Amino acid sequence: MDLERAKTIAVAAVKQSGRLLMDNLEKVKAVSFKGKRDIVTEIDFQPEKIIVSSILKNFPGHKILSEEKGTSGGSSKYLWIIDPIDGTINYYHASAPFRIGLCLLESHTPILSVIYNPVKDQLFLAEKGRGATLNGQKIKTSDNQELKNAIVLTHLSSKKGARIRTIAALEKIFEKTMHLRIFGCGLAAMTYVATGKFDIYFNVKTYSWDILPGALLVSEAKGKVTDIQGNEISNRSTSVLATNGKIHDQMLKLLKNI
Q: Supply the DSSP string of 10-40, one letter for each residue.
A: HHHHHHHHHHHHHHTTTT---EEEETTTEEE
The reply to whether 122 and 160 lie within a common domain is no
Summarised one tens digit per residue, pLDDT across range 194-212 is 999 999 999 999 999 999 9
Q: Which domain holds residue 83?
A: 3-138
pTM: 0.93
Summarised one tens digit per residue, pLDDT across range 111-145 is 999 999 999 999 999 999 999 999 999 999 999 99
CATH code of the domain in which 78 resides: 3.30.540.10
The reply to whether 118 and 218 lie within a common domain is no
Binding-site members are 67, 83, 85-86, 210
The reply to whether 38 and 79 lie within a common domain is yes
End-of-domain residue from the set 79, 110, 138:
138
End-of-domain residue from the set 82, 115, 138:
138
Q: What is the number of structural domains in the chain?
A: 2
Binding-site members for Mg(2+) are 67, 83, 85-86, 210
Q: In 3D, which of 161, 220, 158 has the Cα closest to residue 195?
A: 220
